[in-house]
Amino acid sequence: MFKNVTQAYDFTDATLEILIMLLGAFILGWLFCKIFCGCSKSGAVADDGQVDDLTVIEGIGPKIAELLNNGNIYSYKALEGTAVSVLKGILENAGNRFKMHDPSTWPKQAGLAARGKWDELEEYQDFLNGGKDKA
């Protein structure tokens, strides 16, 4: 029934090819996550574990702040370092209710907040219209 059970397993070219393909699939999956899921630019929690009130940013309310937190964006510093495309992806994945929001000014606002430039942030927000650039 079993042929040479005691014989050592011999890696054939086909087995090696399968292992290489599995490794390639793993690497491609990892790259896909980094590029399209924003894993590398999501801005995860700041090194010091800082959690900021993201609703200070014009255009972000409590529900959107919760979505950002679910995307591992908890701080102004993290929001500043997140690509607008990643922010748009978070909003789009949350459904039609959130697709209409424009996050293009959020990183800039977050950068000002992260540096404690509250007067400049307030000035910039006075220029904005619902978080969108008037220009």
Q: By the 8 A CB rule, do 60 and 109 touch?
A: no
Torsion of CA 80, 47, 86, 34, to 10 degrees: 140
- Mean pLDDT over 110-116 rounds to 95
DSSP 33: H
Helix (H, G, I), strand (E, B) or coil at 129: strand
Q: What integer pLDDT is reported at residue 43 of this predicted model? A: 42
Residue 120 CA to residue 130 CA, distance in Å, equals 17
Two tokens, residue 64: 């959107």
| CA atoms 6, 12, 15, 19: torsion sign | positive
Q: What integer pLDDT is reported at residue 45 of this predicted model? A: 44
- Mean pLDDT over 75-88 rounds to 94
Residue 5 — pLDDT band, cuts 50, 70, 90?
low
Q: By the 8 A CB rule, do 59 and 132 touch?
A: yes
Share of the chain above pLDDT 70, in %: 75
Task: Give the residue, 48 or 86, on which the prediction is more confident.
Answer: 86
